[in-house]
Amino acid sequence: MAKRDYYEILGVVKNASDEDIKKAYRKLAMKHHPDRNQGEGAAKSEEQFKEAKQAYEILSEPAKRQAYDQYGHAGVEQMGGRGGPGTEGFGGFAEAFGDIFGDIFGAGGAAGQRRGGSQVYRGGDLSYAMEISLEEAARGKETQIRIPSWEECNVCEGSGAKPGTSAKPCPTCHGSGQVHLRQGFFSIQQTCPNCHGSGKIIPDPCVACTGVGRIKTNKTLEVKIPAGINEGMRIRSAGNGEPGTNGGPPGDLYIEIRIKAHDIFERDGDDLHCTVPVGIATAALGGGVEVPTLGGKAEIELPEGTQHGKTFRLRGKGVRGIRSSYPGDLYCHVAVETPIKLTEPQKKLLKELDESFKKGGDRHSPNAKSWTDRVKDLFK
């Protein structure tokens, strides 16, 4: 029985574009797929499906199409083309629609596919915790870190195979890196479980790299910490993560900042807080008190009768954040200290001072008077 013209089978003209041929095949594959045609007429639909699949396989490949255009069916048979519509299974349905999913999800994500080849995967991201001081966070710094890296194995030159041997196409997926699973009407494409998407197996792996083709090592990376960085922020170093698979892009390295606890300051956003211990005499009489800042020393002026917990604000003495136009402020919290380990003369003087306070009435202890009144009201 004479074979039908492939262009006639697909219903396209001889000078049809590749996209027109693909669209025509998709339409026929959907129409005649055996899963959609059960019962009477199933045999005819199956035959038409196989016929359309063979036509698409020839016309979708430039070399075979050119041979067919010049010499007809004899030309493609000499090139090793498939002999008849009954020699193929039903895999063409997945081939016809597999690229639709590729158009939706793209090849630039975590996993793509080389044209006609194995799965391509982006490398994983790495995380590195870096601890710095508050001063370094405020001013920024440049430093070096050691991170894991991978180099091409110099024994197998990156092939993963023992010298003198070579990798072979995976027998499960025949080198495509993918397998097709039939589930009712659909044919689902998945990564080959045998070769994990590489499309090849290595019968005799390299001893040095155990067949990976790379050897793990370490490398030094220059890192610039921007001024004003804060706890938990991350610095991205593109391309310094794990290497990709089958030529895929490498992942990224994320450096997560940890700020050491400071002996004096606590940071709150761009503001700083510190506790300033003040003697009882200074708090009572007032006077200047020296306080530290990240930029040096400063002085706050305590008014006479400063109470414990009083807060003084020094504008612009905080931290200038990464996204801030101006630095934050420094808040100094006064902590009035009670003297300890008094000598007998000091105790005597303090008792005399206390007696004089009592003679002066409530004006020396306004907070105590207010507190006493509130207690009385509580038990009325």
pLDDT given at position 131:
95
Are 253 and 334 in a shared domain?
Answer: no
The CATH number that applies at residue 76 is: 1.10.287.110
The pLDDT of residue 1 is above 60 = no
Confidence of residue 104 (pLDDT cuts 50, 70, 90): very low
Domain boundary among 105, 139, 169: 105
The CATH number that applies at residue 334 is: 2.60.260.20
Q: Is residue 217 part of a domain?
A: yes
Q: Is residue 10 part of a domain?
A: yes
Percent pLDDT > 70 in the chain is 80
pLDDT given at position 141:
93
pLDDT given at position 138:
95
pLDDT digits over 195-254, tens only?
A: 877 788 888 989 888 888 888 888 899 999 999 999 999 999 998 888 887 677 888 999
Are 237 and 312 in a shared domain?
Answer: no
Q: Higher pLDDT residue, 40 or 89? A: 40
Are 300 and 176 in a shared domain?
Answer: no
Are 158 and 194 in a shared domain?
Answer: yes
Q: Is residue 39 part of a domain?
A: yes
Confidence of residue 93 (pLDDT cuts 50, 70, 90): very low
Q: For the chain, what is the HEC assignment?
A: CCCCCHHHHHCCCCCCCHHHHHHHHHHHHHHHCHHHCCCCCHHHHHHHHHHHHHHHHHHCCHHHHHHHHHHCHHHHHHCCCCCCHHHCCCCHHHHHHHHHHHHHHCCCCCEEECCCCCEEECCCCEEEEEEECHHHHHHCEEEEEEEEEEEECCCCCCCCECCCCCCEECCCCCCCCEEEEEECCEEEEEECCCCCCCCEECCCECCCCCCCCEEEEEEEEEEEECCCCCCCCEEEECCCCCCCECCCCCCCEEEEEEECCCCCCEEECCEEEEEEEEEHHHHHHCEEEEEEECCEEEEEEECCCCCCCCEEEECCCCCCCCCCCCCCCEEEEEEEECCCCCCHHHHHHHHHHHHHHHHCHHHHCHHHHHHHHHHHHHCC
Are 359 and 311 in a shared domain?
Answer: no
Confidence of residue 370 (pLDDT cuts 50, 70, 90): low
Q: Higher pLDDT residue, 380 or 105? A: 380
The pLDDT of residue 109 is above 50 = no
Are 254 and 295 in a shared domain?
Answer: no
- Per the structure, the complete domain to which residue 162 belongs is given by 126-259
Are 203 and 234 in a shared domain?
Answer: yes
Are 254 and 314 in a shared domain?
Answer: no
pLDDT given at position 268:
95
Are 94 and 169 in a shared domain?
Answer: no
97-106, 198-207, 212-221, 275-284: least confident range? 97-106
Mean pLDDT, the chain, integer: 81
Domain count, the chain: 4
Are 328 and 354 in a shared domain?
Answer: no
Q: Is residue 112 part of a domain?
A: no
Range 71-92 average pLDDT: 53
Q: Is residue 110 part of a domain?
A: no
